[in-house]
Structures are given as structure tokens and as C-alpha cells.
Amino acid sequence: MTAPAQTTLRGSAVAALLAADLDEKCRLTTAAGEAWFARTLGLSAPGDPRLPQRPGRPVKPDLVSPRLVPKRSVHTLEGRIAMIHALAHIELNAIDLALDIVARFCGQPVPRSFFDGWMTVAMEEAKHFGLLSKRLRDLGSHYGAMPAHDGLWQAVEVTAHDLAARLAIVPLILEARGLDVTPSLLAKLGEAGDSETAAILEIIYNDEKKHVAIGAKWFRFLCARQRVDPAQRFQELVRACFRGDVKPPFNDRARAEAGLTPTFYRSLSPLSS
């Protein structure tokens, strides 16, 4: 069923969040972004639909403990499919995380360009999910064919109260991790001769730099408005809201290019001196 047309960015973001059909989710996300950039949508209105507690999802994949997710070696076809499936799951969650930032925090006193940035992120995550889904089909599989875990959506629940916390955890912890691990993954795909998957990961990697930069820009904006040190505030929020470790190795160069310098994250690593 096609979602009813929305007249606000918040309503359009919620409609995309609610979509359980993933082709429709991607279509609605892209349409919302295009309408927003065409300036045909208002920001919000009293009649906007309410934010869902969870995003719309198909019946599959089954959500399991991270320990039960299939192993992901790039050196076998089965391992590459498992890896691509895991990446597709991350990108699907990233669509909804970006949409949730837009819809949940539309009442915040931030410039309109804040929403420009996050709709750019949402549209690019939808593009990434589409590329990875097509690659799975090319390899004889599909998204939903393997179990996945639900850890990423937990970031929504623990940061729902605070935009600064959301920015610290989603782009500056979760998405920044992609900058750390993707270069070695690209090297392994090159060794395995999988240039098609590597080309998709190159696109994702370059877009992720922009996404981390958008997060860093607006996190610094909020800290400047509150007159607090951004690195210190980042560390406080991560300790309060992030359950895992901030693990090396770090891609310091890519992180710094995105505005996330080592003063933010080095002291959070369990291996820091």
C-alpha cells in the first residue's frame, strides 16, 4: 500500500520510517528529500503522524544476537554474501536513523540547513541499501535471506532525549566506525577479485566521510551554542549513552577530514595510555 502524500518534512520522514516494504521505504525517503530540497514541504504541522517506536520492517530477516550472525569472510562466495547482507542491514538501519533524527528533532532551534544535511544522509543511505540489495541478487541471494542483529536501532532508544547525544552516538561513533574498517575490507575484496562489491564500498566510504562531517558540524554547533568544549562533551555523552568500547584501529586521517580529531575519541579507547 502506498503511503498518503505528506505536506511536511516531518510527516514525510515518518511515512518513510513506517514503510515495511523496503523498496517503498527507499522510494519515500528519496521523494521526501527531493521535495524538501525543492522547498515544497513545510517543516512540521500539528497533524503530522506520530513517530513510531520502531521502523517498518519486512518479516525477514530474523533478528538475533550478534553472536548468531553468520561469519563474514570475503574469500568465499558464501562469506561475501554474508558480509554484503550485514552491510545492507547496516545501511537499512542508517536510513531509519537519519529519518528519525529529522522527524524527532524537527522542533529544535536549528537552522534549516540542519535538515538539508540529514535528508542528504537519508537519501544516500537509501542509495547504499539499493546498491547492496542489487549486489545480493546478482550473487543469487537477497536481503532477508540471513539473520541480522538489532543493535543499531538501540542507539535511537538511548538518545531519544537529546540531539547532542544522538549526534555523538550515531554519526560520530557508529558511522565513524565505517571509516576505520572499510579500507581493509576494500583491500581484501581486491585480493578476492570482487571488483563489483569493492566499487559499491568505495561509494559508501566516500559518502560516509560526508555523513560524519555533517554530524561533527552540528555537534560542534550545539556545543558552541552551549559554550562547552566539544571533545569533552562528546566523551561525556559516549560514556553515558554507548554500551560498547570505542575500539582501535582508527582511521585518524579520514576522521580528521570529517572534523573528528583524535582529541574526541582517543581517551575513550580501552587501549589508550
Question: How many domains, in total, are found in the chain?
Answer: 1
What are the residue ranges of helices labelled H in 42-142? 77-104, 112-138
Residue 206 belongs to domain spanning: 9-43+59-268
- Domain assignment present for residue 254? The answer is yes
* Mean pLDDT, contiguous 10-residue spans, the chain (273 residues): 73 97 98 96 92 93 80 86 95 96 94 97 98 98 92 83 96 95 94 96 97 98 97 96 88 95 91 54
- Domain assignment present for residue 215? The answer is yes
Q: Is 112 helix (H, G, I), strand (E, B) or coil?
A: helix
DSSP for 98-111, written as a single string: HHHHHHHTTTSS--
| Grid cell digits, residue 264 | 574526541
- Domain assignment present for residue 121? The answer is yes
Q: For 93, phi and psi rounded to 5 degrees?
A: -60, -35
| Grid cell digits, residue 73 | 569472510
What is this structure's pTM?
Answer: 0.94
Q: What is the pLDDT of residue 71?
A: 73
- Domain assignment present for residue 102? The answer is yes
- Domain assignment present for residue 239? The answer is yes
Query: Which residues, in sequence order, are bridge partners of residue 42?
Result: 8
> Phi/psi zone of residue 259: left (φ > 0), alpha (ψ -120 to 50 degrees), beta?
left
49: amino acid identity, one letter:
P
- Domain assignment present for residue 162? The answer is yes
